[in-house]
């Protein structure tokens, strides 16, 4: 299929169509089609589309290679991890996005090499536009009666069941794209990082925002089979999922810059990946900013064309970066108020956990007096949305060191001030804040300090506080954050026990 102006619109998916049809710099993609291979949405691609057929052929070829070959399907997946645990793959810190961009790009290049199709680009599964497992992964045999190497029998997610709206829906996507700065959008640095020692890459230790904690982790866990495990790249749908995560990052970069901290930009992934000739490819993070420089495109142009931000917006972003990196305290910085509560109890399906936190008098008054903040998706004007957001305080909840049992089958829902909370309380309830899950790292004990800390998460409570408490909250009273685990995929939920809840109220 040739790429035309019409196919850009049709195949661009929810994000692509919205961004390219706006007044953003990406509109130039309509005027000039890139000569680079174009990553397209799986939605609407037939089973015998050349892109799908190329990927299917490549998976078949790689699976048939001798086990000793470095490009053997299983051997390649072990770069990510194996049944004994994760190897080079980072989760739960700020290397998550660039590492997986390089990993997916490596596979994309290998597919071109083994199929001799240099026009191939890894398609993406836009689960916001189509929350069902794509048909090409659910048929055991293709319509020409051949075995389908994209089918994995151990998946537990039913083809007729959509991914839940509260993990992949448009509202979740809007919140992701409105998240700033990078360490809230793309997960934060490991706690205490002070060097470029490679052990920081795989040791977790950061705080996960919505992108990693919600659609990334929960789509992995829901699919089942290999996907909730360190061996997840053995399922060919892995790369469709990660191409979509990568596309969201590229979209975010149209109006937002990545972290400039050298602990992130200068980190090398030494001998983590292969070139197509079998030699090692060892990019550092700053080599991985631009998809086009890696040999593929989503049709966007002019990344990082951030409109000149006001002093207020810059001040807010700097404070948010300091808060999430835990490099400041409310005693040292004006415009920052914090409160916390320690915890030793676990939330279960039958016994939700309530975490009341006393907020200092007057700290929330700026929240109550502001209208709900826009995401920027309404008018596609992200710059204006950021300026408006900087005019009011933001309230962030940090759930630190959350111990989750049965993580492969557990999703944790978060509510605010819901006194009769139950496991079946719907996510449409106005008290609902969001949800998170984690990939199972229970077998991993490596990291910067010889162990892997439990995961941490950040949620923006600003809109929920306006919605739930409004002007009816007495000054100086507690706000009550609540957790309830629910089942994910085909299993029963475990428990969730945060060691600490911190509330940060940040204003420019």
Quick: pLDDT tens for 257-310.
999 999 999 999 999 999 999 999 999 999 999 999 999 999 987 776 655 555
Residue 303 has a pLDDT of: 75
Distance CA 63, CA 87 (A): 21
Q: Please tell me the pTM assigned to this model.
A: 0.89
**93 in Cβ contact with 285 (< 8 Å):** no
**478 in Cβ contact with 358 (< 8 Å):** yes
Distance of CA 366 to the CA centre of its chain: 30
List, as one string, the DSSP characters of 180-216. -SHHHHS-PPPTT--S--THHHHS--SEE-HHIIIII
Distance CA 357, CA 365 (A): 16
List, as one string, the DSSP characters of 131-176. -SPPGGGT-SB-TTS-B-TT--TT--S-TTSPPPHHHHSHHHHHHH
**197 in Cβ contact with 268 (< 8 Å):** no
Distance CA 38, CA 297 (A): 5
Quick: pLDDT tens for 36-76.
999 999 998 999 999 999 999 999 999 999 999 999 999 99
Whether the pLDDT of residue 22 is over 80: the answer is no
Query: Of 486, 504, 498, 483, nearest to 222 (Cα)?
Result: 486
Query: Residue 7: which pLDDT band, with cuts at 50, 70 and 90?
Result: very low
Is the bond leading into 181 cis (omega within 30 degrees of zero)? Answer: yes
Residue 142, token pair as written in the block: 């293709």
Whether the pLDDT of residue 335 is over 80: the answer is no
**H or E segment to which residue 174 belongs:** helix 170-177
Average pLDDT, the chain: 86
Query: Residue 322: which pLDDT band, with cuts at 50, 70 and 90?
Result: confident
Among 32-36, 67-71, 392-396, name the one with the lowest average pLDDT: 32-36
Residue 469 has a pLDDT of: 84
Q: 327 vs 436, which has greater pLDDT?
A: 436
496-506 β-sheet, strand order:
207-208, 456-460, 394-404, 496-506, 336-342
Q: State mean pLDDT over 123-140.
A: 98
**412 in Cβ contact with 397 (< 8 Å):** no
Hey, is 484 helix, strand or coil? strand
Residue 31 has a pLDDT of: 35
**254 in Cβ contact with 26 (< 8 Å):** yes
Angle at the Cα of 408 from the Cα atoms of 402 and 414, rounded to 5 degrees:
45
List, as one string, the DSSP characters of 32-57. S--SS-B--BSTT--TT-HHHHHHHH
> Phi/psi at 489 (nearest 5 deg)?
60, -130
What domains lie within the chain, and their CATH numbers? 5-294 (1.10.1280.10), 314-506 (2.60.120)
Hey, is 338 helix, strand or coil? strand
Distance CA 335, CA 323 (A): 12
Residue 27 has a pLDDT of: 33
Quick: pLDDT tens for 92-109.
999 999 999 999 999 999
């Amino acid at each position: 299929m040739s790429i035309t102006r019409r196919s850009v619109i049709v195949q661009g998916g929810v994000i692509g169509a919205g961004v390219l049809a706006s007044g953003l710099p990406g509109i130039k993609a309509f005027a000039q089609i890139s000569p680079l291979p174009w990553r397209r949405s799986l939605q609407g691609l037939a089973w015998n589309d050349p892109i799908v057929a190329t990927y299917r052929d490549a998976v078949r070829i790689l699976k048939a290679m001798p086990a000793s070959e470095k490009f053997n399907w299983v051997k390649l997946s072990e770069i990510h991890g194996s049944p004994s645990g994760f190897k080079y793959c980072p989760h739960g810190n700020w290397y998550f996005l660039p590492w997986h961009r390089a990993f997916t790009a490596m596979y994309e290049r290998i597919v071109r090499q083994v199929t001799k199709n240099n026009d191939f680009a890894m398609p993406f599964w836009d689960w916001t536009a189509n929350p069902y497992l794509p048909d090409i992964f659910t048929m055991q045999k293709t319509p020409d009666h051949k075995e389908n190497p994209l089918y994995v029998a151990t998946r537990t997610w039913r083809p007729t069941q959509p991914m839940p709206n509260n993990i992949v829906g448009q509202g979740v996507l809007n919140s992701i794209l409105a998240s700033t700065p990078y360490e809230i959008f793309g997960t934060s640095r490991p706690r205490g990082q002070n060097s470029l020692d490679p052990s920081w890459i795989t040791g977790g230790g950061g705080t996960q925002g919505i992108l990693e904690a919600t659609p990334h982790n929960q789509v992995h866990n829901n699919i089942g089979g290999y996907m909730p495990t360190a061996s997840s790249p053995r399922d060919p749908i892995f790369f469709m999922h990660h191409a979509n995560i990568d596309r969201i990052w590229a979209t975010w970069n149209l109006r937002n810059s990545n972290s400039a901290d050298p602990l992130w930009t200068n980190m090398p992934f030494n001998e983590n990946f292969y070139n197509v000739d079998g030699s090692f490819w060892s990019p550092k993070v700053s080599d991985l900013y631009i998809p086009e420089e890696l040999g593929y495109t989503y049709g966007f142009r002019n990344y990082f064309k951030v409109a000149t931000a006001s002093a207020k917006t810059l001040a807010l972003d700097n404070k948010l970066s300091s808060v999430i990196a835990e490099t400041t305290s409310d005693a040292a910085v004006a415009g920052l108020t914090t409160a916390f509560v320690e915890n030793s109890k676990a939330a279960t399906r039958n016994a939700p956990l309530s975490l009341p936190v006393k907020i200092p008098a007057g700290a929330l008054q700026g929240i109550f007096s502001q209208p709900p903040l826009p995401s920027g998706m309404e008018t596609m004007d992200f710059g204006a949305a950021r300026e408006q957001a900087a005019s009011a305080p933001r309230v962030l909840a940090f759930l630190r060191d959350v111990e989750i049992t049965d993580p492969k089958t557990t999703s944790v829902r978060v509510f605010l001030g819901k006194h009769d909370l139950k496991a079946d309380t719907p996510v449409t309830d106005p008290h609902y804040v969001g949800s998170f899950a984690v990939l199972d790292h229970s077998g991993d004990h490596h990291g910067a300090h010889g162990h892997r800390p439990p995961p941490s998460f950040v949620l923006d409570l600003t809109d929920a506080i306006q919605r739930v408490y409004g002007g009816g909250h007495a000054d100086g009273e507690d706000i009550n954050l609540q957790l309830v685990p629910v089942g994910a995929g085909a299993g029963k939920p475990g428990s969730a026990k945060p060691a600490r809840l911190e509330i940060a109220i940040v204003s420019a």
